[in-house]
Chain A
Amino acid sequence: MTGLLARIGAATLALLAGIGRMVIFVAETLSHLVRPPFYAREFGHAVMSVGWQSLPVVGLTAFFTGGALALQIYSGGARFSAEALVPQIVAVGMVRELGPVLVGLMIAARVTSSIAAEIATMKVTEQLDALVTLSTNPMKYLTLPRVLAALLTVPVLVAVGDVIGIFGGYLVGIYRLDFNPANYITNTVDFLEAHDVISSLVKGGAFGLIAALTGCYYGMQSDRGAQGVGRATKTAVVVAAVLILAANFLLTEAFFSE
């Protein structure tokens, strides 16, 4: 019994210590936002890597999801004679939920993993120590540009994903479900509200922040050796995905609860 309590206590302390380290990491990263020097070149590279290079995977994911969503809504709606609501529900579903969440999860898979693996490898090969000896703060040089790039580009990716997802639903609606093109577009545009779009972009920013911070944090915390790099990468992706889904729930509650 005592052993069990000791294990629970140790696990709780470890969890709290981990949360504490992460909070300090986030605070330190954000504090660099207002303290020069700023590394514009590294920020530019991060924008290309996080934003531009994620476009294909985000576009494809959103496109197929939008198409599948249209088919599902049409099929499910037929039970209630609600087939005509396909444009509206695809639009709301993509913009409010599926767009941000899918983009967030794709960013966790693509960007969090790559950031964590890169920084963890830099740590085990002493490149982080080398940065320090070259009078360069790794938080400022590695973490801040990536976090800032994710914060600014993921909302754009979400917006692009929303549009492509709706377009996927539109193509299925027009060519598979025989909707009138003009009506489909009118119903989509008329039904969406500014509130929906704003929530989508805010979620994108929050998910980008989570994805980049988690990748940087676990990369910097990596243990030595190839196994350490692998573990850091895996943990970063899992934690980022879970935090993105949890944040999505909280933001949905904040934006849409009556």
Chain B
Amino acid sequence: MIRLTDVHKSFGSNHVLRGLDLEVGRGESMVVIGGSGTGKSVILKCILGLLTLDGGRIEIDGAHVRRAGREAMLARFGMLFQGAALFDSLPVWQNVAFRLLRGELKRPRAEARDIAVGKLRRVGLGPEVADRYPAELSGGMQKRVGLARAIAAEPDIIFFDEPTTGLDPIMAGVINDLIREIVTEMGATAVTITHDMTSVRAIADRVAMLHRGKIRWVGPAAEIDGADDPYLTQFVHGRAEGPIETLR
């Protein structure tokens, strides 16, 4: 279980997270929604230890996430970045097998390559892609490679940061289906950050809405359309009129 308690994070005078509380159950797919610039990605970066908290506490299965023990914690995580964040200087298979080529999970090179090709196949990419470089791939293919990299070391917690941003609706649907299938078959806990409601409906067990640095609403994905929270309703239905202030 992932538990965030009274988490605060500021950047200068910008208080992004203001006492955020959130719980994600083991094996659950939680999707955090909210407007652009509300700090959704900051939540992930705080859990991963990429950002230091100003206040509050984050626990994974009861263990406090601290900088000191982060290495061991990171071995349990997989992450798909918004822009895929593939390493330009490495061919696709080495991107996927990055963790398997060095460190504690190091495998023989041939074995690591076989695993990488297998993971690429799992996300719908053939072995011919393995020796290409990220710059030679389309945005959708890069996302798939990023997904393959996220699951290569069989993590039990996977984070997805805006997995469908910048993709056409068909490719977005493909990525959503892949996420759903992979998370289910791995039995992993998943936290997804998005403002794409199609993604939310496709992959969420539960949904949390972030507004002004706090979780405004949290509940089962099936209830988002019927919820009586005016903020959630405005966001889910994409209305300009409502309590959420918009710049015009």
Contact = CB atoms under 8 A, between A and B. Distances in A.
B83 A133 contact: no
A125 B83 contact: yes
A130 B104 CA distance: 17
B244 interface: no
Contacts of B83: 125-126
B133 interface: no
Interface in A164-194: none
B77 interface: yes
A32 to B, nearest CB: 14
A151 B6 CA distance: 47
Given A126-B82, A130-B81, A133-B79, 20 more contacts: A37-B102, A37-B103, A126-B83, A127-B86, A127-B87, A127-B88, A129-B48, A129-B50, A130-B79, A130-B85, A130-B86, A132-B49, A132-B50, A133-B50, A133-B77, A134-B74, A134-B98, A135-B71, A135-B99, A136-B103
B102 A136 contact: yes
Contacts, number: 48
A37 B102 CA distance: 9
Interface of A: 37, 39, 45, 122, 125-127, 129-130, 132-136
B85 A135 contact: no
A125 B71 contact: no
B79 A135 contact: no
B75 interface: yes
Interface in B60-117: 71, 74-75, 77-79, 81-83, 85-89, 98-99, 102-104
Q: Which of A37, A122, A133: most chain B Cβ within 10 A?
A: A133
Contacts of A129: 45, 48, 50, 81, 85
Contacts of A45: 89
A45 B90 CA distance: 12
A127 B98 CA distance: 12
